[in-house]
Structure 1
Amino acid sequence: MLTLEGRSGSGRLVSCEGIDASGKSTVARLLADRIAAEGRQVLFLDRKSAVASLDGYLADHLAELRSLIWEYPPDAITSRLGFTHWSHLIGAWFAAVDHTVVRPGLDRGLWIVADSWFYKFAARFALSQGLQEGLAPFAGVSRPDTVVWLDVPPEECVLRRGELRSTERGEWQGLDGGARAFVEYQGRVRQVYRELAGREAWFTMGSATPEDAADRAFDHVATAMATPAGTPAGPDTAMEETR
């Protein structure tokens, strides 16, 4: 395994992306642990730790946003509130987390490993609005220095999921049902991810054990982060397809 090089005081933002149940949360945690073992200050970022890293009014404000976005019944028909509502609400969450947690952390030299950033929502929005409109709510939000995409087939992901939420089964796309709707919808989201990966030179892996995926992601991060912060890896080194 490689080691991290570069300026110890330079913060980095790394995002682990993938469709629902692709294993991104587990891989992101393992990757954060590997970076911390190199002596870097690391923040594992998800919707819980974002709130926990703040206090007082800021923590309360983000906790309310988090509740509105994620705490709904599994069969809720969220599409009844419309795209404009959800795009503003979710865009507000990422703008606030970026402003209060990510940017200050990067300024302090933190390595921030996100259990997905805004790309999952942009991909979902893109299915009905197009990619440009799907990305629009996140204009001005920090872009990761590196994106690790776990390109796991939805047929595999559905076997890992117990209860399927309406938003995971594609109710926004008019899909209805259980596992079959999940596979269909997540397959569509996967296609948008594939377009984003090509456009933004993501590091791509197929199915792998969490430990193996984290090791490969770490080696890529170690290579990519030898360059100055904000300099994306070139297309020749950023994409890898693991069979």
Structure 2
Amino acid sequence: MSGSRGTHNFNGFISFEGIEGSGKSTQAKLAADYLKGKGRDVLITEEPGGTKISRKIRGILLDAGNNMDPLTELLLYNSARAQHVREIIYPALTRGIIVITDRFSDSTLAYQGYARGIDLAVIKTLDDIVAPDLKPSLTFLLDMDVEEGLRRNRAAKKEDRFELETVEFHKKVRNGYHQIAVEEPDRIKIIDASASVGDVSKKIIEILESQWL
């Protein structure tokens, strides 16, 4: 697929966003299972990842042994996304398949923009190049206290390069997500991720039923 496309207004692209330990991966899978149970064709994927190339880039990005410059980090995420969008996301959406992704471009704004301090205009320009006119029609932002999220991950022995960042870094990420949600309240639904897995899933399903089913 070429890098030049017209406008895409897909209504089947859902993203899950949130800080470390917010449970978005679990909730993305539960939402996919629910929609499949309703007879929908669903593809679940993640960022960085989803393709062989993107998974290799993921390994570099998350390796705790890599002392990475923020610009390098930004460009690697966009490289992984470029492959992911062209190989997986666009083809699936074009076939009418619902795509659920664990993270997408909002993560880049929150982590590399609001937390790392890279100019948001630069990030948005890169996003326009990498995924022109492609934005989730619905985003679930799983929100919770930063310290509790980090405790969850450490209890699960998850310690990649981002989980080892300071609490202040993760607070900047959370604040960034809140700012993005303020700017796009129709798309982004904030979910209290401190509740039980079942209660969080119930709230997400209620939103899916009200908007999609």
Letter in 2 for 1:184: E
89, 104, 122: which one pairs with 1:102?
Answer: 89
Q: 1:47 to 1:189 in 2, by over 3 A?
A: closer
62, 73, 95: which one pairs with 2:63?
Answer: 73
171, 177, 189: which one pairs with 2:173?
Answer: 189
CA distance in 1, matches of 2:33, 2:49: 15
Q: 1:78 to 1:155 in 2, by over 3 A?
A: same
Shift in Å, 1:73: 3.4
SS in 1 for 2:174: helix
CA contact (8 A) 2:12 2:96 kept: yes
Q: Which runs of 5+ in 1 are unaligned?
A: 1-9, 52-62, 171-180, 227-243
SS in 2 for 1:149: strand
2:123 corresponds to 1:139: no
CA distance in 1, matches of 2:145, 2:17: 13
110, 113, 118: which one pairs with 1:129?
Answer: 118
Question: Which residue number corresponds to residue 169 of structure 1?
Answer: 164
Aligned residues: 192
Question: Which residue number corresponds to residue 54 of structure 1?
Answer: none
Question: Which residue number corresponds to residue 157 of structure 1?
Answer: 149
CA contact (8 A) 1:27 1:211 kept: no
Q: 1:130 to 1:168 in 2, by over 3 A?
A: farther
CA contact (8 A) 1:151 1:204 kept: yes
Q: Once superposed, what is the RMSD of the aligned Cα atoms?
A: 2.2
Q: 1:134 to 1:168 in 2, by over 3 A?
A: farther
Q: TM-score, normalization: structure 1?
A: 0.71
CA contact (8 A) 1:11 1:105 kept: no
1:154-190: CA deviation from partner (whole Å, max 9, x where unpaired): 11111112243333333xxxxxxxxxx2x22111100
Question: Which residue number corresponds to residue 224 of structure 1?
Answer: 211
Question: Which residue number corresponds to residue 182 of structure 2?
Answer: 198
82, 100, 121: which one pairs with 1:113?
Answer: 100
Question: Which residue number corresponds to residue 64 of structure 1?
Answer: 53
> After the TM superposition, which of the residue ranges 184-193 and 128-137 deviates more from structure 2?
128-137
In our comparison, the structure showing a higher alpha carbon Rg is 1
CA distance in 1, matches of 2:75, 2:97: 28
> After the TM superposition, which of the residue ranges 129-138 and 204-213 deviates more from structure 2?
129-138
SS in 1 for 2:28: helix
CA distance in 1, matches of 2:142, 2:39: 26
193, 196, 200: which one pairs with 1:209?
Answer: 196
Shift in Å, 1:107: 1.5
71, 77, 91: which one pairs with 1:90?
Answer: 77
Shift in Å, 1:17: 0.5
Q: Which runs of 5+ in 2 are unaligned?
A: 1-9
> After the TM superposition, which of the residue ranges 10-19 and 25-34 deviates more from structure 2?
10-19
Q: TM-score, normalization: structure 2?
A: 0.81
Shift in Å, 1:49: 7.3
